[in-house]
Amino acid sequence: MLGAETLSISSVTALETKIVLFARFGLVAVGLFEELLENAEIVVVPFDDEMARLAFDAFRRQGRPALLSISTYRLMAHSKGDANRDPDVVAGHRQRDPLELLRTEDAARYERESAVARAVIDEALAAAARYDENRSAFASPLAGVPGAIKDNMCLVGAPNTCGSKILADWKPPYNATVVNAILDAGSVILGKTNLDEFAMGSSTENSAFKVTSNPWDLSRVPGGSSGGSAAAVAAGAAFWALGSDTGGSIRQPAAFCGLVGLKPTYGRVSRYGLVAYASSLDQIGPLTRDVRDAALVMNLLAAHDPLDSTSWPEPAPDYTKSLVNDVSGMTIGVPKEFFGQGVEEDVASAVWAAIRLLEQKGARVKEISMPNVEYALPVYYIIAPAEASSNLARYDGVRYGHRTEMQCDHVAMFEQTRAEGFGAEVKQRIMIGTYALSAGYYDAYYLKAQQVRTLLRRDFDSAFESCDLLITPTAPTTAFRIGERSSDPFQMKLSDVCTIPVNLAGIPGMSVPCGFSNGLPVGMQLLGPAFGEETLFRAAYTFEQSTDYHLARPDLRPCGESH
For 508-535, give the DSSP string.
-EEEEEEEEETTEEEEEEEE-STT-HHH
Q: How far apart are the first and last CA of the chain?
A: 22
Radius of gyration of the chain (CA): 23
pLDDT of amino acid 133: 79
On the question of pLDDT at 230 being above 60, the answer is yes
Pick the catalytic residue: 10, 11, 150, 192? 150
* Share in percent of the chain as helix, strand, coil (round to 5): 45, 15, 40
Degrees, nearest 5: CA angle 118-123-129? 125
368/349 Cα distance (integer angstroms): 18
330/333 Cα distance (integer angstroms): 10
User: Is 249 labeled as catalytic in the residue annotation?
Assistant: yes
510/264 Cα distance (integer angstroms): 8
The proportion of the chain whose per-residue pLDDT surpasses 90, expressed as a percent, equals 61
Domain region containing 324: 122-563
| Tens digit of each residue's pLDDT (9 = 90 or more) over 499-514 | 999 999 999 999 999 9
How many structural domains comprise the chain? 1
User: Is 466 labeled as catalytic in the residue annotation?
Assistant: no
Residue 556 confidence class, pLDDT cut points 50, 70, 90: low
Pick the catalytic residue: 207, 249, 322, 389? 249
CB 390 within 8 A of CB 175: no
Chain length of the chain: 563
Decide which of 266 and 145 is more confident: 266
Ordered strands of the 188-193 beta sheet: 188-193, 146-150, 240-244, 284-288, 260-263, 509-517, 520-527, 469-473, 331-335, 364-368
Is residue 32 assigned to a domain? no
On the question of pLDDT at 23 being above 70, the answer is no
Is residue 12 assigned to a domain? no
DSSP secondary structure letters along 109-152: HHHHTHHHHHHHHHHHHHHHHHHHH-GGG--STTTT-EEEEETT
On average, the pLDDT of the chain sits at 80
What torsion do the CA atoms of 184, 189, 195, 200 make, to the nearest 10 degrees? 0
On the question of pLDDT at 116 being above 90, the answer is no
CB 8 within 8 A of CB 291: no
Pick the catalytic residue: 8, 164, 187, 225? 225
Is residue 399 assigned to a domain? yes
User: Is 225 labeled as catalytic in the residue annotation?
Assistant: yes
CB 493 within 8 A of CB 377: yes
Strand partners, 63: none
Is residue 100 assigned to a domain? no
| Tens digit of each residue's pLDDT (9 = 90 or more) over 250-287 | 999 999 999 999 999 999 999 999 999 999 999 999 99
512/416 Cα distance (integer angstroms): 44
Residue 124: closest CA among 148, 142, 107, 101:
148
545/467 Cα distance (integer angstroms): 22
Model-level pTM?
A: 0.83
| Tens digit of each residue's pLDDT (9 = 90 or more) over 44-60 | 333 334 444 444 444 44
Strand partners, 333: 366, 470
The enclosing domain of 223 has a CATH number of 3.90.1300.10
Is residue 510 assigned to a domain? yes
> Averaged over 232-258, what is the pLDDT?
91
Residue 82 confidence class, pLDDT cut points 50, 70, 90: very low
What's the 3-state SS for 383-442? HHHHHHHHHHHHCCCCCCCCCCCCCCCHHHHHHHHHHHHCCHHHHHHHHHHHHHHCCCCH
CB 297 within 8 A of CB 241: no
Is residue 206 assigned to a domain? yes
Residue 496: closest CA among 377, 388, 370, 379:
377
Is residue 75 assigned to a domain? no
> Which SS3 state, helix, strand or coil, does residue 272 take?
coil
Is residue 405 assigned to a domain? yes
